[in-house]
Amino acid sequence: MTGALGTGARGADRLPRIALTGATGYVGGAFLRHLSGMSSPWPVTALVRRPPRRPLPFVTYVQGELPGRLPVGFPPPGTDVLVHLAGENRSRDREVLHAVNVAGTRALLGAAPDSLKGVLLGSSMSVYGRGAQIRVDETAPVRPSTALGRARLGAERAVAESMRRGGGTAYLLRPRFITGRDDLAFLPGISRLRKLPLRVRADRTHFSVIDVEDYGSVIAQLARRVMERAARGTPVRTAVNVGYRRPVALQDLFDLLAPPPGPAPLRWLPAAPARALCSVLPGHGASRLGERLDLVTLSHWADVGLLESEIGTALTAKSPETVVRSYRAYEPEQETS
């Protein structure tokens, strides 16, 4: 792939042409919903395993899969911005994670047309590693401690290097927790944590969160920034923490979520020894539990000043508690007589 900044000035004001992976996923769906709300949605070519039952009129769907089934001509000629949100995040197999997240990303970049002005990559704060993170910014050392975190960092480096060689912009997006109507992980996990006998300093544990619909808006705004930077000849290659400016306290999450039925559990087991025990026990199950406890019993709070410098503060100034409150009903309501 070679850069095309010379064409940027001519096309800065037209609709960006988007190539999208992960279109049917949690974040990809939110991005497409955001575009759907525009008076003139941007043209999108989406790589999907199978076309959706309800296709969107502004989206052209092409069938394929990373890394081995990338169809010829994707990303298509004329693409301005590649929004790469597809990836493998469930497997524990290092080779699978590398094949999809790293080799698959390289395959996409190698097939990109000369018109490409920038790439938005869906990554994660997991690249910063384990342990408490308090107002961590993008200059913090990256020390991924899991195979998934290392694969995400490998994809970040592939995108940054490709855009450096081609003269384009790379935004490497690092959210921590993404919530929303279809959240199957974060808030349900916090609800389960409330029921465990763990002692957690909930008032001193803080999380960076972003509503998935707002994340879709962030992606669209940064895609527009890619076009603006191409027109001005000011490309950047940078990680971007994604979240609201103010974190949400674990105690506030406990208070906002519906209380479990019956008496509250006895908080007899400190969280730190539980994490330490998981780190020395054999087996993937103990390791995975340790990773989850690390996530939900230690602060993971990012500074989003760089994001605000790119898109402004209107979105980041939102109250995370207000956002969470709108999605609090994750457990069946208890019937009352």
pLDDT in tens, the chain (337 residues): 434 333 434 455 679 999 999 999 999 999 999 999 999 999 999 999 998 999 999 999 999 999 888 999 999 999 999 999 999 988 888 999 999 999 999 999 999 999 999 999 999 999 999 889 999 999 999 999 889 999 999 999 999 999 999 999 999 999 999 998 888 888 888 888 888 888 888 899 999 999 999 999 999 999 999 999 999 999 999 999 999 999 999 999 988 876 656 566 667 677 777 777 766 667 666 667 777 778 788 999 999 999 999 999 999 999 999 888 877 544 444 433 3
Distance CA 241, CA 229 (A): 19
Question: What confidence score (pLDDT) does residue 337 get?
Answer: 33
- The pTM of the full predicted model, rounded to 2 decimals, is 0.90
Question: What confidence score (pLDDT) does residue 237 get?
Answer: 98
Contact 27, 214 (CB under 8 A): no
Question: What confidence score (pLDDT) does residue 182 get?
Answer: 82
Question: What confidence score (pLDDT) does residue 17 get?
Answer: 98
Question: What confidence score (pLDDT) does residue 334 get?
Answer: 40
Question: What confidence score (pLDDT) does residue 183 get?
Answer: 86
Q: Is the dihedral of CA 280, 282, 284, 286 positive or negative?
A: negative
Question: What confidence score (pLDDT) does residue 78 get?
Answer: 97
Question: What confidence score (pLDDT) does residue 294 get?
Answer: 80
Question: What confidence score (pLDDT) does residue 214 get?
Answer: 97
